[in-house]
Amino acid sequence: EVQLVESGGGLVKAGGSLRLSCAASTFTLSTYNMNWVRQAPGKGLEWVSSISRSSSFIFYADTLKGRFTISRDNAKNSLYLQMDSLTAEDTAVYYCTRSPAGYCTSNSCQNWFDLWGQGTLVTVSS
């Protein structure tokens, strides 16, 4: 089955760090742009970050202020999100998402999301 499986979420204290992982199953990650999208409890969806196929282009939501780092290891068919200096406002379910046919320029990746993982919950205690 084609799927994305996230891991690494959990409870962390404000100011702490977490590293999320996303494993791709039965498809080759390297042929897709990849992204992280989050959803705070009872709230809407918020784009977090995107990375192009070869990691040439990387983009973040301005609200993250340089605290998060997206990366990928195509050899391991995996995507990552390093989250530092966490605050209570980062509490959310984090989804790994795949983007088909979207392309990237130096300004943006024009990505929509055709496959979503089940999500991993990150809870930041203050």
Partner 1 sequence: EIVLTQSPGTLSLSPGERATLSCRASQSVSSSYLAWYQQKPGQAPRLLIYGASSRATGIPDRFSGSGSGTDFTLTISRLEPEDLAVYHCQQYGTSPLTFGGGTKVEIK
**23 or 115: CB nearest partner 1:** 115
Q: How far is the CB of 48 from partner 1 (least distance, A)?
A: 10
**16 or 119: CB nearest partner 1:** 119
Residues 6+ apart with CB under 8 A from 79: 21, 22, 24, 29, 34, 36, 51, 70, 71, 72, 96
**86 or 109: CB nearest partner 1:** 109
**86 or 96: CB nearest partner 1:** 96
DSSP 29-87: GGGSEEEEEEE-TTS-EEEEEEE-TTSS-EEE-GGGTT-EEEEEEGGGTEEEEEE-S--
Q: How far is the CB of 109 from partner 1 (least distance, A)?
A: 8
Q: How far is the CB of 53 from partner 1 (least distance, A)?
A: 16
Number of alpha carbons in the 13 Å side-chain half-sphere of residue 56: 10
CB 4 within 8 A of CB 60: no
Q: How far is the CB of 46 from partner 1 (least distance, A)?
A: 7
Residues at the interface with partner 1 (CB under 8 A)? 44-47, 50, 59, 61-62, 95, 102, 107-119
